[in-house]
Amino acid sequence: MIFLTVGTLFPFDRLVQAVDEFFDTYDLDDEVFAQIGNSVYEPRHFEAVASLDKGEFDRRFRQASAIIGHAGMGTIMLAFDCGKPLLAMPRRKKYGEHVNDHQVALADEFEALGHILVAHKASELAAKLTRLKSFSPQPRTASPEVVAERIRCFVRSIERRK
């Protein structure tokens, strides 16, 4: 089962509709179950619910063979923690899906590192969905020393400006 999740803050009809329309032309050999928030769009090709309690959400996430979702940090980190391949579509400000485009930069960085797949537009979704089942994310390792050094450099740059 592939689990599609859009998070809990905002609906993400563009993603839900793009995944649903994929099935007008293609087949995945896997069912999709979706948590779609207060979506206006109603999928025709897979079961969807507005929300799940935390226990049920976690159970479905862990049972899934792969995840499709928005490019929120919570979804990305949970996919890492559970070892799940993730296809993310960043929410965009221009479509009223978020207040800014921070998910675009986040998704692009994680894709460049080989951790996730990204589809920015519905037209890119089919190619990425067909790769999802065979996609093996690059392992992500914590680098607290690198983070600490970046913070030190940032703080020093602020101190030099004073």
Question: pLDDT by residue (tens digit) across 13-33?
Answer: 999 999 999 999 988 888 999
Q: What superfamily would CATH give domain 2-161?
A: Glycogen Phosphorylase B; (3.40.50.2000)
Of the candidates 18, 53, 19, 16, the one whose C-alpha atom is nearest the C-alpha of residue 36 is: 16
Q: How far is residue 110's CA from residue 127's CA, in Å, rounded to a whole number?
A: 18
Domain borders along the chain are 2-161
Q: How far is residue 8's CA from residue 35's CA, in Å, rounded to a whole number?
A: 9
**What are residue 2's phi and psi, to 5 degrees?**
-100, 130
**What are residue 88's phi and psi, to 5 degrees?**
-115, 145
Q: How far is residue 94's CA from residue 20's CA, in Å, rounded to a whole number?
A: 22
pTM: 0.86
What confidence tens digit (pLDDT) does each residue in 89-123 have? 999 988 878 888 889 999 999 999 999 999 999 99
